[in-house]
Amino acid sequence: MCHGGRALYSMSSTRGSLIRHIRFICLLLILSLFQSWFQLLLLLCLVLFVLCYSLSSSYVSRLKGFALHEQNKRFLNQIHQVHLTTQPSTVPSTVPSTVPSTGIQYHQAHPHNYHFIMDNTEVCKTKNPFLVLMVPVAPNDVAARDAIRQTWANNSLVQGKVVLTLFMLGLSNRDNAEQLQEKLKQENLQHSDLIQSDFMDSYLNLTIKTMVIMDWLATHCTTAAYAMKVDSDMFLNIDNLVTLLQKPDIPKQNYLTGMLMWNRPVIRSKNSKWYVPEEMYPDPIYPTYTLGMGYVFSNDLPAEFVAISKLIKPFNIEDAYIGICMKKLGLAPTSPPDPSQFRAYNTGYNRCEYSKTITYILGSAQQLVQYWTDLKKPGPPC
């Protein structure tokens, strides 16, 4: 066909009408054999007319086909917005996916770009922890750190296992940054539990923060068996976590667990806190990942994450980013033995419930101290 048909049905309908036109022309040709020159001229005119007609009709159907095509696209988009569980494979992605085949190196979020200001170099060698809890926290949020120091970080020995809690911070971007930095140094002299790197500490830089945590674990704490990234506004039942990690069927390698997120759509609404532009992550659905409030992993993984992150374009959703690292490594998160132990929403304090879970999201540092004190008072919780 002279026009590369855009839609299949417009091509077939044009072909049908052309066949009919050709039949008509043949009939006229046979007739014309017996007619005069004048009639042949008339016939030529007719042929021209027929050709013009077929051209214009196929153009119209082509237009119709294109409009339908656009409609289909819009319809597909609507399905994706409504149906959160659509498989990514059904959606043609126009941009190459996150993992470039050419081995493009994404250095922006790569932790080797940043340098430790405080790294507590010796802390893992001297304490030799079984489990390291890494808590990303805003530099000025000393209240959150103090609440954690009084509660789940207070006991360094849990069921005979050494547990170490460290706080991860970037640089403050506030006016009083210099003063704050001096305070942080004093705080670290007192507690030896701050890890600070020289990236700008901000919400959009959370993936950098997570990757710097992974870098620190991979370079300063290789002997620990497990680590956890846990947010500073969490209730953490550390006893239950250590119990979980000592179960015989918990893998010692390639293990990542927490609250699993399946088939989560990428948020494309610009007003959302979780907005991710298509240039940063083109696929509409994230691979399975563990919710960022608290995920636990075998300590062989941090070095793998750091290495693979060079090939994965960074974006601001740190937990989904770790999910993408896992997928690229050929791994997947594992459901915890009891998934109800990882809870994202706090429905109010209940001593019995808090004695059974591992994580809860809390409202404030005071809540953490209050609930913890109540949970630890003598007497059976249930």
Which residues contribute to the site for ligand NAG (CB under 6 A)?
Answer: 150, 154-155, 199-200, 202, 204-205, 208
Name the pairing type of β-strands 161-171 and 194-200: parallel
Q: If you write DSSP's letter for every residue of 57-97 in order, what string do you get?
A: HHHHHHHHHHHHHHHHHHHHHHHHHH-TT--GGGS--SS--
187/304 with CB nearer ligand NAG = 187
C-beta closer to ligand NAG: residue 54 or 202 = 202
Q: Residue 206 CB, nearest distance to ligand NAG (Å)?
A: 10
CB closer to ligand NAG, 70 vs 198: 198
Q: How far is the CB of 144 from ligand NAG (least distance, A)?
A: 15
CA distance 101 to 92: 18
Closest CA to 255 of 311, 335, 320, 314: 335
Residue with nearest beta carbon to ligand NAG: 202
Place of tokens 């006016």: 175
Q: Could you tell me the smallest distance in angstroms from the CB atom of residue 95 to ligand NAG?
A: 22
Residue among 128, 130, 132, 137 nearest 197 (CA): 137
Q: CA 22: distance to chain centroid?
A: 59
CA 98, CA 86: separation in Å to the nearest integer?
A: 19
- Separation of first and last alpha carbons in the chain: 78
Nearer to ligand NAG, 164 or 256 (CB): 164
Instruction: Report how many helices (DSSP H) and strands (DSSP E) the chain contains, helices first.
Output: 11, 12
Q: Report the residue number, 234 or 259, with the smaller CB distance to ligand NAG.
A: 234
Tokens for 134?
A: 């890494």
**Paired strand residues for 167:** 135, 194
- Our CB check for ligand NAG shows the closer of 58 and 205 to be 205
Return d(Cα 296, Cα 246) in angstroms, integer. 13
Which CB atom, from 170 or from 323, has the smaller least distance to ligand NAG?
Answer: 170
- Cβ 199 to ligand NAG, closest distance in Å? 4
Cα(325)–Cα(315) distance, integer angstroms = 12
